[in-house]
Amino acid sequence: MRLKTTKRREGKRKRRTGRIILYILTLIVAAAATAGYLFYDTIFAPNTKAGTDKIIYIERGTTFEELKTVLEVTGAVKNINSFNTTARLKNYGGTVRGGRYRITEKMSNNDLINMFRSGNQEPVNVTFNNIRTLPELAGVVSKRLESDSTAFLEALTDKELLKENGFKRETIMAAIIPDTYSMFWNTTPGGFIERMVREHNRYWNSERTEKAEKIGLTPVEVATLASIVDEETIMEDEKPRVAGLYINRLEIGMKLQADPTVRFAMNDFTVNRILNRDLETESPYNTYLYGGLPPGPIRMASKSGIEAVLNYEEHDYLYMSAKADFSGYHAFAKTLRQHAINANEYRRALHQRRIFR
């Protein structure tokens, strides 16, 4: 009888112990599930709002604390505390990689930190054409990239930097092929020049290089002549003829006597009419005073201008004057006598319209 009682007590004790163990295990599982959920919710659950599509700019040298401020102020994340916690768990902090980052909907803290850590930014399109001067180019590029125009201009005129890339201040414009380029927002001014030189080398393939060699010009000289052609005429179908005229002059040793080079020498592109006194402007770019090509391009040469030089029209013209009908085209002449007649007609038209400068 006593034995049965003892067994019943032991059975009750075991069942009670089992229930306690089960309860403890249940608590452990619940705690683990809660911790797992919190861990997932903190790191892997979306921390950006549905429909979010936001661009943020992070400057070079930005600290992690400053990054958090940007994310919070711009509303890029829903919970900055969970972002901060995830950063600690992933050992992320210190200086942040600068760049232009796109924040999209349902990105988790893990996604965000991986993006910032790898510098996986979204590029921008940088477009330039019809640029006359280096300060103008610096201004255009600085509107799309992080550095200001002063930094870009300093790079574009840095003697040593340009020398490393095979150019000079006078010739660097020849390295800039007008187009639209995809670049990272935080591309440095030096990186911009290196990229432009690579694009220049890619543009000057074997076919174009061979054509330049047949003319007796280097790629820089082609761009220099093309820049004059671009300034002389806006008519695309006339550019090969204008290019042929200047090549004819170069071949016989005649001065180019190109009015656009005088405007460049004067640093005044608003002048509509070049006067005799302007022709005396002292400058190596003044092709009325100095023979051959100027030291470098007088503007950013267009692709059509370059192609016009490489595929110039063969003819016997040595002279040209703007047409008196102001159509934008030119009257070409083989002799100085015919040119004088064309030029006088144009001058009379200018006087009639009271254009004196």
Digit-coded pLDDT (tens) for 254-297:
999 999 999 999 999 888 888 899 999 999 999 999 999 999 99
Spatial neighbors of 28 by CB under 8 A, at least 6 apart, are none
Range scoring the smallest mean pLDDT among 25-29, 57-61, 323-327: 25-29
Q: pLDDT (tens digit, 9 = 90+) per residue, 55-78?
A: 999 999 999 999 999 999 999 999
pLDDT value at position 23? 57
pLDDT band, very low/low/confident/very high, at 24 (cuts 50, 70, 90)? low
Mean per-residue pLDDT, 312-322: 97
Measured in degrees and rounded to the nearest 5, phi and psi for residue 37 equal: -65, -45
SS3 content of the chain, % helix, strand, coil (to 5): 55, 10, 35
pLDDT value at position 44? 81
**Structural domain boundaries in the chain:** 53-118, 124-203, 209-315, 321-357
Q: pLDDT (tens digit, 9 = 90+) per residue, 217-236?
A: 999 999 999 999 999 999 99
pLDDT value at position 37? 45
pLDDT at residue 183 tops 90? yes
Question: Which is it for the CA torsion 274, 280, 286, 287, positive or negative?
Answer: positive
pLDDT at residue 338 tops 70? yes
